[in-house]
Amino acid sequence: MDIDLKNEAGEFKYRVVGILFDEQNRVLIQKVADNPFYCLPGGRVELGESSIEAVKRELEEELGFDVVVEKPLFFLENFFNRASGAEVHEIGIFFRVTSSVAPKEDWEIVENDKGILKTLRYKWVTLKELENEDLRPAFLKEKLLNLNEDFEQIILRDGEKVK
């Protein structure tokens, strides 16, 4: 069971995300179904599952190949409102991952996510090309351009970093 709690006040989600670079230093971004924006691949943690187990499972399910989870890079607390007005409190751990078998070109797959079929489109982009993409949450562009190995906690409220 996914750690995704909903009630009349809003929603709480616990997510994990993989940051995968190829040998050309391109980062992998993902577009889910007909979303107008890209994100980094990942998904929800299941009850009783560690974040490391979850990111490996989610990425292998979504990408269709094996990954190695190297280390957590940052922890995100994200507070935002959906278009419907519902408040969302999302916790996310972003991991550096690697793969020796990742495709070299862009691809797409159809994922069966608990009975719901979704088309997932994957695209490799250089950090310079990333500037022209609608990547969400929006802070990720800057974060990926200035990625370092020091673990960091980030808090976002309505897309803006909180000190």
C-alpha–C-alpha distance, residues 47 and 82, integer Å: 24
Residue 118 has phi, psi (to 5 degrees) of: -130, 135
Mean pLDDT is lowest, of 28-32, 108-112, 134-138, for: 108-112
Q: Report d(CA 77, CA 67) in Å as an integer.
A: 25
pTM: 0.93
pLDDT of 119 > 90? The answer is: yes
Residue 111: per-residue pLDDT: 85
The CATH number for 4-162, chosen from 2.60.40.3950, 3.40.640.10, 3.90.79.10, 3.40.50.300, is 3.90.79.10
Could you tell me what percentage of the chain is helix, strand and coil, using 3-state DSSP and rounding each to the nearest 5? 15, 50, 35
C-alpha count within 13 angstroms, C-beta hemisphere, residue 39: 18
Domain boundaries, the chain: 4-162
**Residue 112, pLDDT score:** 84
